[in-house]
Amino acid sequence: MVLDETLTLAHWNAVMTTPTDESSSTNPTPSVVPSSVDYSNPYYLQSGDHPVVMLVSQPLASDNFLTWNRSMSMALIAKNKLCFVDGALSKPYESDPIYHAWIRYNTVVFSWLLNALSKEIASSILYIDTAEEMWNDLNERFAQSNQPRIFQIWKTILHLYFKKMSL
């Protein structure tokens, strides 16, 4: 992936302009002209996108993974950072010019995830290296199927149904 230098190194370029009319040529007026910014680029951060931001209202606990996962996914999609956790934007080689930018943005996403976890869960994954590894670890641990519980509920429903039928 080639990164447009204007997107990561400077979102705004200060440009000095000098008016062409002679009456004001002795006092040029500086102005700031925005460069073209691609807001859809995953390497773009808004001014409020700092590492201590809480993206979801409820931290992940052992009993709310599905709602937490849905909320966090929506927040990461809104910030255009889901690619850091779903594998769409993999870690570049250290020799790649984008490597340091990737590390910086991955760290921000990692911090957002860490801030959205209960203290017990956060302490168990603090030393994982990437946001993608953290996301995968959380999915492996908490996205367990509820098939045994579903079976038990159906069994109870059928038992009640047949009990009513025999009356």
22 located within any domain: no
* Alpha-carbon gap, residue 116 to 49, rounded angstroms: 15
153 located within any domain: yes
Average pLDDT score over residue span 143-165? 78
* C-alpha to C-alpha distances, 115 to 52, 58, 108, 111, 135, nearest whole angstrom: 7, 10, 11, 6, 13
Domain that holds residue 116: 56-167
71 located within any domain: yes
Q: Quick one: pLDDT at residue 7?
A: 37
* Alpha-carbon gap, residue 147 to 132, rounded angstroms: 27
* C-alpha to C-alpha distances, 92 to 38, 99, 103, nearest whole angstrom: 21, 6, 9
Total count of domains within the chain: 1
7 located within any domain: no
18 located within any domain: no
15 located within any domain: no
Q: To the nearest whole number, what is the mean pLDDT of the chain? A: 79
pLDDT of 51 > 60? The answer is yes
151 located within any domain: yes
Binned at pLDDT 50, 70 and 90, residue 107 comes out as very high
pLDDT of 83 > 90? The answer is yes
Q: Where are the beta strands (DSSP E) in the chain?
A: 12-16, 30-34
Residue with more model confidence, 20 or 103: 103
